[in-house]
Amino acid sequence: MEDLLNKLNEQNELTKIEIVYFLQHLTLELQKRLFHLAVETRKKHYNESVYLRGLIEFSNYCKQDCMYCGLRRSNPEVDRYRLTEEEILECAAEGYNLGYRSFVLQSGEDFRYTEELMVRIVKSLKARFPDAAITLSMGERSEAFYRALYAAGTDRYLLRHETASRSLYESLHPGMSFDNRMNCLRILKDIGYQVGAGFMVGLPEQTHEHLAEDLLFLKEFHPAMIGIGPFIPHSATPLKDTAGGTIEDTLVMIALARLFVPDALMPATTAMGTLDPTGREQALSAGANVVMPNLSPLRFREKYELYENKICTGDQASQCRNCIEMRIMASGYQIELSRGDNCNFISTP
């Protein structure tokens, strides 16, 4: 284990067999040292900064049927909503006034938001808030769509790979293709986006081998951003009776991802904060460096239910901002409200 920790620290990688061995033999004491190494590695690239992104959940309609997700199309209990172009701009304006210079527009896979409409939304956002970075997270689309949105000024795109294991991926995503997912990620990167990949921890049937594959995929793909969160079973999905992920297992994967991809921007996810009131702070102490407070209109917050008991569904944008600021400062970090680009990202105009 000593050798593996050293290798992680010096070479930022392990083989699949080594990762599995490492996960199997991790003690509490070694875990502490792993988190410490992850935090030191983050500091080399981003100092004590924690970057804030304002999250706008603009539609909870979804044409997909992911087994784990509360917004899956076959969940009839969801009260579906869509934000208009004006409502999205209003949310962003509120965030802008609170100081945010980075916005994430997220939705289910909702094709009512056509290329034309999205181009218009992104162009309006860029015109009104030229110094803000715009990130889209709206699932799989065509190469033409991704190109048009990039040309319109979109800076980043989040598309978690969810799991790098083809068999696990296919069992969780009826009607979807693992190859298409990977293809979308490569296209996004080729176009020039800062791309976010990532996965869930604690999926049913997920093994240490699967998690090793996730880390090796991240190493090879080298995303600008990596989102890792625990799987939280939702009672209106087929996976309602499964165990879900733990804070501890997720922290270990965050730390390993930090060491595998030292320059990544990594959110302390809302799912972490949902499992444990201090989950996001713990994620920061395991190598994460981004927090994404919610800017969605209050009346829609509870309806964007990927999993239940999601935090921050009853808080004004300004309250979230204050709460998160206090939490980050209390943990000894510094708030960064700038665009927060990946430190090695060179934009090509």
CB atoms within 10 A of CB 90: 15
Contact between 121 and ligand FES per CB under 6 A: no
| SS3 call for 290 | strand
CB atoms within 10 A of CB 175: 10
Contact between 323 and ligand FES per CB under 6 A: yes
- Beta carbon of residue 313, minimum distance to ligand FES (angstroms, whole number): 9
Identify which of residues 206 and 289 has a Cβ nearer to ligand FES in the complex: 289
323 is annotated as contributing to ligand binding: no
69 is annotated as contributing to ligand binding: yes
The binder of 69, among ligand FES, ligand 5AD, none, by C-beta within 5 to 8 A per type, is: ligand 5AD
The runs of H, that is alpha helices, within 152-287 are 166-172, 178-191, 208-221, 247-260, 270-275, 279-284
137 is annotated as contributing to ligand binding: yes
Q: Which two tokens stand for residue 340?
A: 């927060």
| Part in contact with ligand 5AD (CB under 6 A); list of ranges 42-50, 146-154, 182-190, 230-238 | 230-238
62 is annotated as contributing to ligand binding: yes
Instruction: Give the contact letters, 66-95, x = binds to ligand 5AD (CB under 6 A), - = no.
Output: --xx--------------------------
Q: Provide the sign of the torsion angle of the four alpha carbons 274, 277, 278, 281, taken in this order.
A: positive
Contact between 184 and ligand 5AD per CB under 6 A: no
| Part in contact with ligand 5AD (CB under 6 A); list of ranges 6-14, 215-223, 225-233, 341-349 | 225-233
Q: How far is residue 320's CA from residue 106's CA, in Å, rounded to a whole number?
A: 18
The binder of 323, among ligand FES, ligand 5AD, none, by C-beta within 5 to 8 A per type, is: ligand FES
How many helices (H) and strands (E) the chain has is answered by: 14, 9
Q: Which of residues 272-301 bind ligand FES (CB under 6 A)?
A: 293-294
DSSP 119-184: HHHHHHHHHH-TTSEEEEE-----HHHHHHHHHTT--EEE---B-S-HHHHHHHSTT--HHHHHHH
Identify which of residues 155 and 281 has a Cβ nearer to ligand FES in the complex: 281
Residue positions forming the annotated binding site for [4Fe-4S] cluster: 62, 66, 69
